[in-house]
């Protein structure tokens, strides 16, 4: 069965979902995106994701012809058209077609498409046994070059870091900023646990303020754990009792080894497991209904 793709106001078959070769999203990576999960017939944190999408658009001086409410509805319509109750949504807004050259003002109309499909980022064994991670030589761009809060189509930095991790036989790659402090992984935020306290790098150190990251702050407060933002080096990770990663696609996943060093006892810790369970319960119990 052909998937239905929302493209510039219409639901079309996937083989008809095409953009121009002159689209600046393709030519120059001039565009933005969001990844969103839906569970049990509900889209998780839909409003927050779309609001962040519009923040990204504003940051790169992109004016969209749609409202937040219209994009939320288009997202729901895409899931419904594909008869899906669980899966992953990729929503992309490009600068649109225009002449060759960097000038975005020569692209009069942005283009948007929405994909709703299944996704399996990591096998179940990784959630049960944990991920092995290596530090990548590829650094996160400095916030003065490109804010990590803008989810842009310029993802080559993350891709190259991911390639390093894959070639090293690791499940993920840790990325540092230009000062050598911990930023995030190639596609996930990072949380470090020491003596029952949870810490995560501040966004000023080069990490995205992820939606799932925000959920962990909520869950930590609800479960009675102290959680603080803290600038960290790899030493803080090497000597941690537990570490877990978070992301829309990854959800919450434990990390058990970094650069051949076992984290804690080399197995997923109790707080990490508690966060996995709490997140899954929350994600399957709230959200915008696909109706």
Which residues does the annotation mark as catalytic?
151
Backbone angles phi, psi at 73, to 5 degrees: -65, -40
Across the strands, what pairs with 5?
A: 12
d(CA 102, CA 273): 47
Cα angle value 276/121/135 (rounded, 5°): 85
């Amino acid at each position: 069965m052909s998937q239905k793709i929302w493209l510039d106001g219409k639901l079309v078959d996937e083989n008809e979902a095409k953009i121009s070769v002159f689209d600046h999203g393709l030519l120059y990576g001039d565009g933005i995106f969001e990844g969103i999960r839906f569970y049990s017939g509900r889209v998780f944190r839909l409003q927050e994701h779309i609001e962040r999408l519009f923040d990204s658009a504003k940051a790169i001086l992109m004016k969209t012809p749609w409202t937040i409410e219209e994009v939320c509805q288009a997202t729901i319509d895409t899931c419904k058209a594909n008869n899906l109750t669980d899966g992953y949504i990729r929503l992309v807004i490009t600068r649109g077609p225009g002449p060759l050259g960097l000038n975005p003002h020569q692209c009069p109309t942005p283009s948007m498409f929405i994909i709703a499909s299944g996704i399996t980022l990591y096998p179940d064994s990784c959630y049960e046994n944990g991920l092995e991670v290596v530090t990548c030589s590829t650094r996160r761009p400095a916030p003065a070059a490109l804010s990590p809060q803008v989810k842009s189509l310029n993802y080559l930095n993350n891709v190259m870091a991911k390639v390093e991790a894959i070639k090293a036989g690791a499940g993920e790659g840790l990325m540092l900023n230009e000062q050598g402090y911990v930023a995030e992984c190639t596609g996930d935020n990072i949380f470090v646990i020491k003596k029952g306290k949870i810490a995560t790098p501040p966004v000023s150190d080069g990490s995205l303020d992820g939606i799932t990251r925000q959920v962990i702050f909520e869950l930590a407060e609800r479960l009675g754990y102290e959680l603080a933002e803290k600038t960290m080096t790899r030493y803080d990770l090497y000597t941690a009792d537990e570490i877990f990663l978070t992301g829309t696609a990854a959800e919450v996943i434990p990390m058990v080894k970094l650069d051949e060093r076992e984290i804690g006892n080399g197995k997923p810790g109790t707080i990490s497991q508690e966060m996995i369970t709490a997140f899954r319960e929350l994600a399957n119990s709230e959200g915008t209904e696909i109706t």
